């Protein structure tokens, strides 16, 4: 048989006391021994400083860059400031030059001055400018006004007392362009009713009418302006045509299509105006140029019906329009002169 175990008597008579011994309770956190808080109360409270740590971080980042990188950054910063100073000096010089030109030339508007080359400060120190371009708008020139005058000077030598004082300049080479307004030309030539328009950079086209002897002559021409040497200007006029109403057309030149030619309307009217048709066919030079056989010409001059049939054909119309009346007039004078000499010679022999 087993011996009985010893059972210890329960130390707490009240079960709630036993539960209270298991948990220390909230009062234990406050019921602590008194400490010396007087010294702690003397220290004043201050907010935490976070900037010190950021400075350390920034210093650490810059300190981590290599020396070559720092040198490159420094050079770039210095170059930016130098470039800014150079551009400011350039703008100041251009403004002063524009004001000086406006005052000395008595211009109504300040010109536009452009100084080429970089950097400007080194050119100023060397007293030499690579290129200077001056543009002057609206320049009065006697009866008309120039819309724009542009001059470009190369290799300009400066006469200075220092970088801040320029007395004058020596310009060995100067090139310029003059822009003439077509509105001024049209106004000056308004009586002739001829208008001018631009065709590219060096061409001018003229169109209009000219009243001559009670007829309106329609004019059209093209002019090309080119340089002739260092200081000369040459003008080549081409494509000129003068329409004398609906009677004839004149083109200067010696080619087949040039000269004085009858218009289509005037040739077509010959079929209805027999008197003019007979006068035309009575000239031997005209008949020879038209290539009409003499037998047909004689029949046409004798019979108006056959004259109308001959003059009204498209072949006759085409050939009549190709006749150069200036050449016909010259040939007719030569033939008339020969006939006169022959008559005089024959009369003397009799």
Q: Which two tokens stand for residue 170?
A: 């020596």
Phi, psi of 4 (to 5 degrees): -70, 140
CA distances from 193 to 186, 199, 219, 332 (A): 8, 19, 10, 36
pLDDT digit string, tens, across residues 36-88? 555 555 556 666 665 655 555 555 555 666 778 878 888 999 989 989 998 99
**Given pLDDT bands bounded at 50, 70 and 90, which one contains residue 348?**
very low
**Given pLDDT bands bounded at 50, 70 and 90, which one contains residue 340?**
very low
Phi, psi of 157 (to 5 degrees): -100, 130
DSSP 265-286: HHHHGGGT-HHHHHHHHT-HHH
183: left (phi over 0), alpha (psi -120 to 50) or beta: alpha
CB of 111 closer than 8 Å to CB of 134: yes
Phi, psi of 292 (to 5 degrees): -90, 130
Quote the distance between the C-alpha of residue 337 and its chain's center.
60
pTM of the model: 0.43
CB of 194 closer than 8 Å to CB of 208: yes
pLDDT digit string, tens, across residues 277-322? 777 787 777 777 787 888 888 888 888 788 777 877 778 877 787 7
CB of 296 closer than 8 Å to CB of 276: no
Nearest Cα residue to 173 out of 193, 196, 151: 151
Q: What is the pLDDT of residue 287?
A: 78
> Which one is predicted more confidently, 84 or 181?
84
Q: Which two tokens stand for residue 265?
A: 């309307």
**Given pLDDT bands bounded at 50, 70 and 90, which one contains residue 236?**
confident
Torsion sign across C-alpha atoms 23, 27, 31, 32:
positive
Q: Exposed, middle or buried by CB within 10 Å (0-12, 13-18, 19+), for 301?
A: middle
pLDDT digit string, tens, across residues 201-214? 778 888 877 776 66
Is the preceding omega at residue 332 within 30 degrees of 0, hence cis? no
Which sequence spans correspond to the domains of the chain? 82-180, 262-350
**Given pLDDT bands bounded at 50, 70 and 90, which one contains residue 2?**
low
Could you write out the three-class secondary structure of 52-77?
A: HHHHHHHHHHHHHCCHHHHHHHHHHH
pLDDT digit string, tens, across residues 4-44? 555 555 565 666 666 666 655 555 555 555 555 555 555 56
Q: Which two tokens stand for residue 192?
A: 């002739």
> Rounded to an integer, what distance in angstroms lies between the CA atom of residue 328 and that of residue 336?
12
Q: Which two tokens stand for residue 186?
A: 């049209």
CB of 267 closer than 8 Å to CB of 277: no
> Rounded to an integer, what distance in angstroms lies between the CA atom of residue 257 and that of residue 328?
14
The answer to whether residue 3 scores a pLDDT higher than 60 is: no
Cα dihedral 254→258→263→268 (10° resolution): 60
DSSP 169-229: EE-SEEEEEEEE-HHHHHHHTGGGTEEEEE-SSSEEEEEEEEEETTEEEEEEEEEEEEEET
> Rounded to an integer, what distance in angstroms lies between the CA atom of residue 54 and that of residue 63?
14
């Amino acid at each position: 048989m087993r011996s009985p175990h010893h059972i210890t008597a329960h130390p707490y008579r009240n079960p709630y006391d036993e539960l209270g011994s298991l948990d220390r309770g909230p009062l234990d956190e406050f019921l602590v021994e008194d400490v010396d808080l007087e010294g702690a109360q003397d220290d004043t409270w201050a907010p935490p400083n976070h900037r010190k740590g950021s400075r350390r971080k920034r210093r650490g980042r810059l300190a981590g860059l290599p020396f070559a990188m720092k040198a490159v950054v420094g050079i770039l910063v210095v170059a930016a400031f130098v470039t800014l100073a150079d551009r400011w000096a350039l703008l100041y010089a251009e403004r002063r030059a524009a004001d000086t030109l406006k005052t000395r030339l008595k211009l109504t508007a300040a010109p536009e001055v452009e100084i080429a080359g970089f950097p400007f400060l080194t050119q100023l120190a060397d007293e030499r400018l690579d290129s200077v371009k001056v543009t002057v708008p609206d320049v009065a020139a006697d009866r008309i006004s120039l819309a724009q005058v542009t001059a470009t000077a190369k290799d300009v030598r400066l006469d200075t007392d220092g970088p801040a004082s320029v007395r004058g300049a020596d310009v060995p080479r100067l090139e310029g362009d003059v822009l003439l307004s077509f509105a001024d030309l049209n106004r000056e030539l308004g009586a002739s009713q001829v208008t001018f328009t631009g065709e590219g950079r060096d061409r001018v086209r003229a169109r209009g009418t000219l009243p001559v002897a009670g007829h309106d002559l329609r004019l059209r021409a093209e002019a090309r302006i080119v340089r002739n040497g260092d200081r000369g200007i040459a003008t080549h006029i081409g494509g000129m045509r003068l329409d004398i109403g609906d009677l004839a057309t004149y083109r200067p030149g010696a080619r087949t299509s040039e000269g004085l030619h009858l218009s289509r309307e005037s040739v077509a009217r010959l079929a209805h105006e027999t008197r003019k048709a007979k006068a035309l066919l009575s000239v031997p030079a005209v008949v020879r140029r038209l290539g009409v056989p003499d037998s047909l010409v004689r029949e046409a001059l004798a019979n108006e019906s056959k004259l109308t049939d001959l003059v009204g054909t498209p072949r006759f119309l085409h050939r009549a329009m190709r006749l150069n009346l200036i050449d016909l007039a010259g040939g007719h004078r030569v033939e008339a002169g020969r006939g006169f000499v022959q008559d005089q010679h024959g009369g003397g022999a009799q």
